[in-house]
Amino acid sequence: MNWKEVPSYFGLTALPFAKEIPTESLHLLPSVEKNLAAARLLVDTHGIGVMVGKSGTGKSCLLRLLAARLPAGLFKPLYLCHTSVGIVEFYSHLCALFGLTPACRRATMFRDIQQHILSMNGSRHLHPVLLVDEAHLLNNEILAELRLLTNFQFDSLNALTVLLCGAETLSLRFGLSTLEALANSITVTISVEGLCPEESISFIENRLSACGAHAPLFTKNALTLIHQASGGILRAIGNIANAALLKAFVAKSTQVEAEHVQAVVQR
């Protein structure tokens, strides 16, 4: 038994729920479009925003879509995901993102980064957009420092857009007095929820169609059960659907039935 045999057995060109889906092939469901529009509003207004949701709801995917849609001549997306670090190491990561040589002192790196950002906005007319993934792992000192990093010309210029993306626990921390300045600076908050039943089914069917399926491969009962078992969480939908495909393949079935899905979710 080999995973490589599964696509050809079902008449597919590739595994439909693989992680390596090209950005241009991602299916833009209504809820995704709504969240993407909110993120683009943040970028257009040059503010500080927060995107929160359960693990697997597609937050990183939204960041990827946002970065891909930004006009290259106007915006410079910068993606950072290594967040379980100290303040000096965090600044070192930022320096590397901006193409700067990290210094030994935190104050020096802060100054270098701010000057570089001002230069990008001024002489190059390029606005940097810092996308911080797994932001719930940032310590409070770094979160507070991010607010300071966006303070330009007596806090009269929005030269850097910051989007903090992480688990729902991130929002709870903005009630702390030490993060009051950051909380008051947040202009856009995006809550990424699980998909509704119609969107879950649409996602599965679209991925199958993109991989060459010409006939319904999952029965209606199987699709319904996948949504119920996954709670509409994108990553869980893909994992369950992939495992159910394998179950159907092993059983030499031409369709994925509810029993194949049941066998996956009950293991």
Residue 3 predicted with pLDDT over 80: no
Residue 262 predicted with pLDDT over 90: yes
Per-residue model confidence (pLDDT) at position 153: 86
Q: What is the pLDDT of residues 63-78, one digit of tens each?
A: 999 999 999 999 999 9
Q: What is the pLDDT of residues 196-217, one digit of tens each?
A: 999 999 999 999 999 999 889 9
Per-residue model confidence (pLDDT) at position 86: 94
Query: By percentage, how much of the chain surpasses pLDDT 90?
Result: 85
Q: What is the pLDDT of residues 155-172, one digit of tens each?
A: 888 999 999 999 999 999
Task: Please give the model's pTM, rounded to 2 decimal places.
Answer: 0.92
Domains of the chain: 30-192 (3.40.50.300), 195-265 (1.10.8.60)
237-243 mean pLDDT: 95
Query: By percentage, how much of the chain surpasses pLDDT 70?
Result: 97
Q: Which of the four pLDDT bands, split at 50, 70 and 90, describes residue 1?
A: low
Per-residue model confidence (pLDDT) at position 112: 97
Can you give the three-state secondary structure of 85-139, one letter per residue? CCHHHHHHHHHHHCCCCCCCCHHHHHHHHHHHHHHHHHCCCCEEEEEECCHHHCC
Q: What is the pLDDT of residues 5-48, one digit of tens each?
A: 899 999 999 889 877 777 766 768 999 999 999 999 999 999 99
